[in-house]
Amino acid sequence: MELRILRYFLAVCQEKNISKAAESLHIAQPSLSTQMKDLERELGVTLFIRGHRQITLTEAGYYLRDRAQEMLDMEEQTLATIQKSQLVMGTLKIGAGQTTIMTRIAKIIDQIAQKQEGAHFELYDGNADDIEEKSIMEH
């Protein structure tokens, strides 16, 4: 079951007419009708009672309508979260000498950590040999 087909199904539910739904979706009515029949065949249930000018949902149709809306809402929320926050996950290890710039780096890291729950940071200070040794021991 594809999300695209669920969108089509919801349009049919909203319009209560396959021709009107096809028009709102900018697709051909025979194509939409075929896709709805294929969806019913895939699920093994009748989703619509087809009348002369209007369709009515069956009990299975009402159930799928509610679940389809939840799935599409979840897809939308997931995409919005990913696009909005550009999720950062994992551990970033930073090694540097003891300089005044470390204070600024620590502030930036704190800002990132507050926005990105999946991001973790490890700071190491020392001379180049100490940091290189630490890096080698962790691999």
* Domain boundaries of the chain, sorted by first residue: 3-84, 90-138
Which tens digit of pLDDT belongs to each residue from 70-91? 999 998 888 887 777 665 567 7
Q: Are strands 55-57 and 48-50 parallel, antiparallel or unpaired?
A: antiparallel
Q: What's the rounded Cα separation, in Å, for the pair 87 and 77?
A: 14
The CATH code belonging to domain 90-138 is 3.40.190.10
Confirm whether pTM is higher than 0.85.
no
Q: Do 35 and 8 form a contact (C-beta atoms < 8 A)?
A: yes
Dist. CA 96–CA 123, nearest whole Å: 8
For the domain covering 3-84, report its CATH number: 1.10.10.10
Low-confidence ranges of the chain (pLDDT < 50): none
